[in-house]
Amino acid sequence: MRTAFARHAAATVLAFGLAGAAPAAQLTIACGSNAADADHCGRFAQEWGRRNGHTVKMYTAPASATDNLALLRQQFAAKSSDIDVILIDVVWPGVIKDHLVDLKPYSQGAEKAHFPTIVANNTVDGKLVGMPWYTDAGLLFYRRDLLAKYQLRPPATWDELAATAKRVMEGERAAGAKDFQGFVFQAKAYEGLSCNALEWVASAGGGTVVDPSGAVTIDNPAAARALDNAAAWIGTIAPGGVLNYAEEDSRGVFQTGGALFMRNWPYAWALAQAADSPVRGKVGIAPLPAGPGGRPAATLGGAQLGVSKYSKNVAAAAALVMHMTSAEVQKHRAIGGSYNPTIVELYKDPEVVTANPFMAELLPVFTHAVARPAGATGLKYPEVSRAFWDAAHDVLSKKSSGADAVRRLDGKLRQIKRSQW
Ligand code: GLC
């Protein structure tokens, strides 16, 4: 039977326990949805939880960035506390800023070690709404073995890419690989298509849809031609199904040996090199090709981690964010998952560079990546992007010519803008 003293002692221990350490929190972190995220996000978050006496659950975001944003916005509208740590796409800070906590009181200046342009992107109205987690840029993955077999090289222009893809595709099909494809990319009607189409347009000198001053620039002949040029790939060097491909669909085809070229983000490197990958040791990475008279352009992507204003455990969630974005975790994620670090120093780390030679070789691709017009269009970016990917999808599916599509898109964007963004 417990005495009054024993009861008092137990209560004292409990009180001291609570005062000595942060109370145990139940946290949910939003991780990405690709094949490596459970390993490279969930694992580190859960280890941190165990070490700090918290429970961390992983929320797997939908595969498409567009669906992901729609779900988040529903959660925010309901002031839901279900997700504490939010994965923030590089184009979202201006869109979801009002639902995120200012991390400055928790970061203690840690953001100074990260690329300043990303920190600036994540700083809205003086608030640091996300800590940089990884950065992305569009890359051209190619089959090194097949280019060698046909004595060809990675293409410098989109026309060269089309010619090389045709040649190898015909050769491989004649040799028995009946479904072999020349080029796979992301042409489903979603945010990923805006990224691909921006690369075609910008690399042809056709601008960035809306320029940094907020002017709508898409209605120009170089942009129209770039879209027409891409439409000509569908059903010739790319399968018709690409019109419904997101990142993981393209990777599925490429990694099983079904295509010569793939446009994708860095994460695809670690998976292509995995022990069970049929293309392990056969893949090279090059900058994306240039358009006529233009220069190669890679769309800037990437993710930040932030804390929801509706979290019931803001301090613990912020501590988790600081851990996940630290040099230690970014290094592991770079080596194991080929996620490009946002901490400048890690690009000099021999283990990071040995696992990912492209990170050092193609550093200019990452430092000069082209931003989507999210900064200029702020809260209206999702509408702008939707209008752009719809126009691109119409051209790719031969419902519209490039010239008609960019003219109509220009009108649509001016309507969305009205007097100001
Ligand atoms: C990648 C990029 C992100 C982009 C998305 C589009 O996740 O990091 O910025 O919006 O792809 O599919």
Domain segments of the chain as ranges? 4-136+301-367, 139-299+371-417
**Domain covering 4-136+301-367: architecture:** 3-Layer(aba) Sandwich (3.40)
Ligand 1 centre distance from Cα of residue 339 (Å)? 12
Ligand 1 pocket check for 265: Cβ under 6 Å: yes
Q: What is the pLDDT of residue 8?
A: 43
Residue 236's pLDDT band, with cuts at 50, 70 and 90, is very high
Ligand 1 centre distance from Cα of residue 65 (Å)? 6
CA 411 to chain centre: 29
Would the pLDDT of 33 be above 90?
no
Ligand 1 centre distance from Cα of residue 248 (Å)? 12
Long-range pairs for 49-53 at CB < 8 Å and ≥24 separation?
A: 49/320, 52/22, 52/316, 52/319, 53/21, 53/22, 53/24
Alpha-carbon separation of residue 80 from 75, 110, 130 (angstroms)? 5, 28, 19
Alpha-carbon separation of residue 122 from 70, 116, 119, 303, 304 (angstroms)? 20, 10, 5, 10, 8
The answer to whether 4-136+301-367 and 139-299+371-417 have equal CATH topology is yes
Q: What is the pLDDT of residue 130?
A: 98
**Closest residue by CA, ligand 1 atom 9:** 301
Average pLDDT taken over every residue of the chain: 94
Which residue of 245, 264, 265, 388 sits with most ligand 1 atoms within 8 Å of its CB, as the best mutation to test the pocket? 265
Residue 21's pLDDT band, with cuts at 50, 70 and 90, is low
Ligand 1 pocket check for 394: Cβ under 6 Å: no
Render pLDDT for 117-148 as a digit per residue (tens, 0 to 9). Answer: 999 999 999 999 999 999 999 999 999 999 99
Ligand 1 centre distance from Cα of residue 156 (Å)? 24
Q: Which residue has the tokens 């501590």?
A: 319
CA 109 to chain centre: 25
**Superfamily of 139-299+371-417 according to CATH:** Periplasmic binding protein-like II (3.40.190.10)
The atom of ligand 1 lying closest to the CA of 90 is 9
Would the pLDDT of 417 be above 50?
yes
Q: What is the pLDDT of residue 345?
A: 95
- State the alpha helices, DSSP H only, in 240-379: 247-255, 267-272, 314-324, 327-337, 350-355, 357-361, 363-367, 374-377
Long-range pairs for 356-364 at CB < 8 Å and ≥24 separation?
A: 356/266, 356/269, 356/270, 358/139, 358/266, 358/269, 358/285, 359/266, 359/334, 362/139, 362/285, 362/286, 362/287
Render pLDDT for 399-411 as a digit per residue (tens, 0 to 9). Answer: 999 999 999 999 9
Ligand 1 pocket check for 130: Cβ under 6 Å: no
Check if the beta carbon of residue 154 is closer than 8 Å to that of residue 286.
Answer: yes
Q: What is the pLDDT of residue 258?
A: 98
